[in-house]
Structure 1
Amino acid sequence: MSLYDNPQFLEGYRQLRRTGQGINDALEIPAMDAALQGLPLEGARVVDLGCGEGGLAGRLAARGAAEVLAVDASERMLAAAVPHPHVRYLRADVASFDLPCGSADLVVSSMALHYVEDFVGLVERVAGWLAPGGAFVFSVEHPVMTAPVVTADCVVDDYADEGRRERSWFVDGVVKYHRTIGSIVLSLRRHGFRLESLDEPLPTLDQVAAHPHLAIHRRRPPILLVSART
C-alpha cells in the first residue's frame, strides 16, 4: 500500500496543506514554477512523477502542455485529483514505471523522489524517455534534512552515508532515502544531463514575519530543486 493511502498519514498530510503550515505553498510551488518559467511548455509532452492530487500537472496543462501524464502510486490521492482535458492520471509505482524512448519533452517531480530507493536507475530511465533537448526538473527534501539516521532538529549528521532512513511523520516508519547533493548531480551528469540550475528555496524575512512557522527553514534549507537538460 502507498504511504499516502494510509488514512492516518493522509489526514495529517492534508491538514498540513489545508492550514498552510507546510513548505509547499510558501517555498516549493513558487520555486518550481520559477524553474519551469523558461521552458517551452506550449504543445509539450510532460510526465509528472509522484503527482499526488495533480496540482503541478494542472498548472502545466494550464500553461499549454499538450499532454501531461501524471503518475502516482496512491489510489486515494489520484481519486482526489482535479480532472483536466490535457492531464491523464495513471496509478503506478514511480520506482518501476517506464515509458518508450523519446516520448516526453519534460519530466517533472515535486517532493517525491526522496521516496525512491534507486535514484540512479530512475535517472537512467528518465534520460531515455526524453527527446533531445528535453528537461528534467524536480524537487526533493534537502539532503541536510534526510541525512541524520537519528533525527535531531537542525543537526546534520551521517551525511556521507547514503541510503534508507526511517522517520516519524504523522505515522511511524516513513521510509525515505538520503543521498548527497554531489551524488544527485553526478547521477544526472553520468546519464547525459547538463545541469541548468540548483536551488535551495528559503523563506524571506518578510515571509517569516508573516508566517513565524517558517523561521526554522532559514536555519537549514528544507528543499533542493534541480533543473537539468539532455
Structure 2
Amino acid sequence: MKQNIYDNPEFFHHYQALRQTPYNYNNLLEQPAIKSLLPNLQNLQMLDIGCGMGEFAYYCIESQAKHVTAIDVSRNMLAIARREYAHPKIDYRLYAIEDYHVAPESFDCITSSLSLHYIENFDAVISKIASILRSNGIFIFSIEHPIATARKTMVDNWIYDANGNRNHYAIDNYQDEGLREQTWFVDGVVKYHRCISTIINSLIAHGFTIEKLLEPLPDLEAVEKLPSLEKELRRPSFLVIRAKK
C-alpha cells in the first residue's frame, strides 16, 4: 500500500497552512535549487512526479515547455492544482509513479520535487524513469538529505547546550537503509532513508550521467525572511540532483 499522507485531513490542513505562509523552505531554498538546474524548457515534453499543488508544473509552462504531465497520489493536491494552476498544456493525473504507464522515451525532461524519499523501491522507479526518458533527456529531482533521514528517531536531532543554543547535529544509523517513521503534523509519516552512494549508484546503473549535485544554501536575503534557514549553513535539509540519460 503506497502512503498517501497528503489526503489525511489533519495532515493536509497543517501542510496547506505551511505552504501558504509567505516564506517557507520550499519557496526560499528547495524550489530555487530545482529551477537553477532546469535546461531550456522550450518545446520540451515533461513529466512532473509528485506535482503537488501544481505551482511547478505551471512554472514550466510559463518557461515555454510544450506540455507537462503532472502526476500525484493525492486527490487533495490535485484538486488545488486543477483549480489554481489549470492550463491546457498541463495534464494533471492521479497516479503514483510506480503505477504510471506510458510508452518508452515519452519525455524530454522529468522532474520530481521532494517525493522520491516516499518511494520504497527506489531502484525500480529509477529504472522506469530511465525507460520513459528520451536519449539525452534530463532528470532533475530533490529529496530530503540523507543526513536528515539517517537517524531512526526522526525527531529534532540537534544537540543543545544549557542555554538552548545548537551545539551540533547528531547523525546515526546512516548505513542502515530503509523505512523511517516521523511525526510531522501527525504520527506515522513514512519515509525511506538511503545513503548518497546508493542514490548515485542507482542512477549510474540505469544509464544516467550525474551532471550536478546541490546541497542548497540560503542566501542572506532568504535568512532575513526566514531566520530558521540559518541552520542550513551547518546541516543541509535537501539534496538536489541533475542527471542526463
TM-score, length basis structure 1: 0.95
Query: Quick check: 1:21–1:213 contact (8 Å CA) kept in 2?
Result: no
1:69 equivalenced with 2:72 (yes/no): no
* Higher mean C-alpha displacement, 22-31 vs 201-210: 201-210
Inter-partner Cα distance in structure 2 for 1:136 and 1:150: 31
Inter-partner Cα distance in structure 1 for 2:129 and 2:150: 25
Structure 1 residues not aligned, in runs of 5+ = none
Inter-partner Cα distance in structure 2 for 1:188 and 1:211: 34
Query: Quick check: 2:23–2:225 contact (8 Å CA) kept in 1?
Result: no
**Partner in structure 1 of residue 51 of structure 2:** 51
**Partner in structure 2 of residue 172 of structure 1:** 187
1:197 equivalenced with 2:200 (yes/no): no
Alignment coverage as a number of residue pairs: 228
Report how far residue 96 of structure 1 moved.
Answer: 2.9
**Partner in structure 1 of residue 34 of structure 2:** 32
**Partner in structure 1 of residue 163 of structure 2:** none
Report how far residue 225 of structure 1 moved.
Answer: 0.2
* Higher mean C-alpha displacement, 140-149 vs 92-101: 92-101
Query: Quick check: 1:98–1:125 contact (8 Å CA) kept in 2?
Result: no
Q: Deviations over 1:170-200 (max 9, x none)?
A: 0000000000111111000000000010000
**Partner in structure 2 of residue 10 of structure 1:** 12
Which of 173, 179, 182 is the aligned partner of 1:158?
173
Structure 2 residues not aligned, in runs of 5+ = 159-168
**Partner in structure 2 of residue 86 of structure 1:** 89
Partner secondary structure for residue 95 of structure 1:
helix
User: After the TM superposition, which parts of structure 1 deviate over 3 Å for at least 4 consecutive aligned residues?
Assistant: none
Which of 133, 136, 160 is the aligned partner of 1:133?
136
Query: Quick check: 2:180–2:190 contact (8 Å CA) kept in 1?
Result: yes
Query: Quick check: 2:24–2:226 contact (8 Å CA) kept in 1?
Result: no
The residue correspondences of 1:117-128 to structure 2 (distance < 5 A) are 117-128=120-131
Report how far residue 115 of structure 1 moved.
Answer: 0.4
TM-score, length basis structure 2: 0.89
Report how far residue 150 of structure 1 moved.
Answer: 1.3
Letter in 2 for 1:166: E
Q: Deviations over 1:57-87 (max 9, x none)?
A: 1111111111100000000110000201110
Letter in 1 for 2:199: I
Report how far residue 218 of structure 1 moved.
Answer: 1.9
RMSD after superposition: 1.3
**Partner in structure 2 of residue 101 of structure 1:** 104
**Partner in structure 2 of residue 217 of structure 1:** 232
Matched residues, percent identical?
41
Query: Quick check: 1:67–1:87 contact (8 Å CA) kept in 2?
Result: yes
**Structure whose alpha-carbon radius of gyration is higher:** 2
* Higher mean C-alpha displacement, 96-105 vs 191-200: 96-105
